[in-house]
A and B are shown apart, each in its own frame.
Chain A
Amino acid sequence: EIVMTQSPATLSVSPGERATLSCRASQSVSSNLAWYQQKPGQAPRLLIYGASTRATGIPARFSGSGSGTEFTLTISSLQSEDFAVYYCQQYNNWPPAWTFGQGTKVEIK
């Protein structure tokens, strides 16, 4: 099983500041990585796929980078609606054994 490790567990950021979230895979997943945002009581929402491609309707302040085992999600200027939990997911396996990171909570500083 590919283990996905996200850091930090919690990130305290002031509105308007930049947030940088990390995701590490236990083995290479190439660029087969997605990021999701989840707000309390809501379903996850796709933000990024292919490590760096924004999903439809996702604002340009969200960007993804990385390949292999190291990935980053950057939110360039945090808005109030961006405070949430963010998960990375690798989808490099077939048959499916897709795995998620444990999440990074972005909270208001």
Chain B
Amino acid sequence: EVQLVESGGGLVQPGGSLRLSCAASGFTFSSYEMNWVRQAPGKGLEWVSYISSSGSTIYYADSVKGRFTISRDNAKNSLYLQMNSLRAEDTAVYYCARLTDGYSYYFDYWGQGTLVTVSS
């Protein structure tokens, strides 16, 4: 069974940093492209960042470019999101989401999410 379990969320002051983790199991993690998707309270979904299966290709949404860094450790079956210079508008539930295999870019499995609150 595919499982994605996020951790690392919490309350942080504006300008602060946080590192999110996503532990994957039930599939060959190193074969799949992974993403972070976020959802502000009461709002819709926003794609945040993509990383290829090897970690060699990375993309970000404009809203987080230059502040967030995605990475992965295939030996540990883990995905990460380093978030720096956090702003109030970064407050959201952050989901780890697996991209389906092949050349279609939809998300076939999601974690339960971890809440990040940016507030003084």
Contact = CB atoms under 8 A, between A and B. Distances in A.
B105 A46 contact: no
A100 B105 contact: no
Interface in B61-120: 61, 95, 100, 104-113
A100 B104 contact: no
Nearest to B4: A43
Chain A interface size range = 20 to 34
A43 B106 CA distance: 15
Interface in B29-64: 43-47, 50, 59, 61
Q: Classify the interface of chain A: helix, strand, loop or mixed.
A: loop
B34 to A, nearest CB: 12
A82 to B, nearest CB: 19
A102 B43 CA distance: 7
Nearest to B95: A43
B105 A102 contact: no
B36 to A, nearest CB: 12
A91 B46 CA distance: 13
A52 interface: no
A101 interface: yes
B104 A43 contact: no
A96 B64 CA distance: 14
Nearest to B45: A100
Contact of B108 (A55, A97, A102): A55
A23 interface: no
Interface of A: 32, 34, 36, 42-46, 49-50, 55, 87, 89, 91, 93-103
Interface of B: 43-47, 50, 59, 61, 95, 100, 104-113
